[in-house]
Every structure is written in C-alpha cells, then in structure tokens.
Amino acid sequence: MAISSARESLSLALNNRFLPNLEYLLQGSILDTAVEHLMHRLKGLCDNVDTSPERFHDLEVCMSLRQPTSPQPLLLRVRRALGQDAPFQMRYLGQPEVDMRRPTLVRSCMDCACTNGILDFLTEMGFRLEFEYIAKGYMFRKGRMKITVSKLIKIVPGKQQDMANEPISQSYIVELSVVAPTGQENVGEEMRVFAEQLKPLVQLEKIDYKRLGNLP
C-alpha cells in the first residue's frame, strides 16, 4: 500500500475509521484521607502491581484558538511529563457525548506525540493559553483500562517547576479510561464492571461538563 502524501493518509485513516479514536471515560474523586484505601484496592485489582505503582508528574497546558466560524474555541491540550525524558503529548478531545444507554461518557480523541517545540508552534498559529495545571499521582492498568489517581495542582503563573504550587482541593481525581477505535461497544460494560468494584470508596460516574459549566 503506497501512501503518497500525509493528507491522503489522513483521509484514508478517517475513512477507514482508524481515527479518531473514542475515549470512554468515568470519573470520580476521593478525599486525601481515603486515598490509601483506594490504592490498596487498585493494587489488588490491577495488573502486575508486584512492584510499586507507577507514578506520574505531568504538566498539562490547554491552548485555545478562536474560530471565526463557530463560537466554540478549538481546544488543544499539551501534556508534558516533568522529570522524564518523554515526548510531549498533544491531545484533541471532542464534545463529550453523555448517552443514557451507554454506561460511560464517550468522546472522540486524537493523541499525538510531539517535540518540545509544540507550544511555540501553537502560539505562532494563534493559540492562546487557556489554563494550565500539574497532575501528579499514580497510574494503574487493567487490561486495556487505564486508571489514574491524580492530584491536581494549581500553578502560580511562571513557576511551573516550583514546589510552592498548591493543590486545588483536598481530594484526588480518579479517572478510568479506555481509548479504543470506533465500534467497540463492550468497552463500556467492561468499565462499568470495574467501576462497580471500586464502589464504596469512589463513585465513578460519567460527568457531563456542559452542566458543570453552568455552575457559578
């Protein structure tokens, strides 16, 4: 299969539904005091946690571009692992779709690894900084499910690396997500069963951002 240009390969991918992927997401939160219990339970449930759970420490920057045609700005999230030599990850997330029939929130997503010039590039394109935060916590894996338990940390502008940045709240955000190609419906069920097992500790739900946005 010869692919002549990048544009052609993109359209091919879109036609064959390689792209965009769908992200199935459940979210919840747990207080700092109870997070130990959750960690123990996750250690029991997840794959190979014979070693200590994987930690992560990422800086996420959300960039927005005003579009002349639509009132909604285009949002792109760029994430970078602090203290690790890994490529930046740029992420586009589509409108979340809260379907009553589905057990999870579903949104289209595109991931792309980038070099560290991506932020400058986006700024040059006209993107503006929307918000940024640091996520720090633990990652688990169960089959194709990814479970992150992370603390969101507010950033004092210009002091990304500073230890003085304060956590946003006294709780951890717990996310259960699967990124899968279109047309895999049993993912949601699998996730629901897993979320059920964390039940008394953390209530993983599909959270509708549109409603949250209306809150004062």
Partner 1 sequence: MSNSVNISVETTCENQIREIAYDGTELYQPPPTLSESLAKCAARIDFSKTSLDDLKKEEKSAAAAEDKEDKDNQFQESLWPWDAVRNKLKDAYTEICVLSDVISIAKDKRYLVLDPLLEDGDDTKAIVQVYSRKKALSQAAQVLLGGAERLRTAHSEQRSRNVSDFHIELLRLRQNWRLKKVSNGAIIGDLSYRTAGSKFGMSGTFEVTKAEDTLDEEGGAGTSATASAASSASSSNNGMQLKASSALRVIVPAELQGVAYIKVITQKDQEDLCTAQVNLMGHGPNITAQVGVWQKTLEFAQNVLFCKELFAQLAREAIQLQAPIPHVVIGNQIRATLLPNIQLIISLCHSTSFDSSQPAPINDHDHVLEHSLHQLLREVHYKNSHHPFPHPASAPLGPSKKRMLAGPTAADREALLDMTKTQTILEQIIAQAQHIFMRKRTQYVLDTLARDVKDPQIVSHWNAMNSPTMSCVKINIVTHGYDAIGRTSLVIHVKERSLKCICRDGRVMRLSYEPQELRDLILCQINSHQISCLVSLARCMAWTVLSNSNHLGIGKVEPLGNASSCLLASPNSDRMIAVQIRCDPQIDVKVYIARSPRQDFFPSPLVPEKFWENLGGNFKEVRFDKIEGKSFLNKMEFLMASLTSNTA
Residue 163 exposure: Cα atoms within 13 Å on the Cβ side: 0
Residue among 62, 139, 153, 207 that touches partner 1 (CB under 8 A): 139
Structure tokens, 7: 């544009």
Helix 35-45 vs helix 186-197: crossing angle, to nearest 10:
130
- Rank residues 70 and 84 by Cβ distance to partner 1 and give the closer one: 84
b/e for 36-52, b at 16 or more Cβ within 10 A? eebbeebeeebeebeee
Structure tokens, 185: 């419906």
Residue among 29, 38, 46, 77 that touches partner 1 (CB under 8 A): 77
With CB under 8 A as the contact rule, which of the stretches 10-18, 32-40, 138-146, 184-192 interacts with partner 1? 138-146
With CB under 8 A as the contact rule, which of the stretches 30-38, 125-133, 140-148, 159-167 interacts with partner 1? 140-148
Q: Does 88 bind partner 1 (CB under 8 A)?
A: yes
With CB under 8 A as the contact rule, which of the stretches 36-44, 64-72, 80-88, 124-132 interacts with partner 1? 80-88
Q: Does 151 bind partner 1 (CB under 8 A)?
A: no
How would you classify the pairing of strands 21-31 and 171-180?
antiparallel
Q: Does 43 bind partner 1 (CB under 8 A)?
A: no
Residues 169-208 that bind partner 1 (CB under 8 A): 179
Residue 29: count of CB within 10 angstroms of its CB: 18
Q: Does 56 bind partner 1 (CB under 8 A)?
A: yes
Q: What is the DSSP string of 90-140?
A: EEEE---B--TTSSSEEEEEEEEEE-TTHHHHHHHHT-EEEEEEEEEEEEE
The radius of gyration computed from the CA coordinates of the chain, to the nearest angstrom, equals 18
Residue among 111, 119, 132, 160 that touches partner 1 (CB under 8 A): 111
Contact positions toward partner 1, by CB under 8 A? 21, 47-48, 54, 56, 58, 60, 77, 79-81, 84, 86-89, 91, 111-115, 135, 139, 141, 144, 146, 148, 150, 179
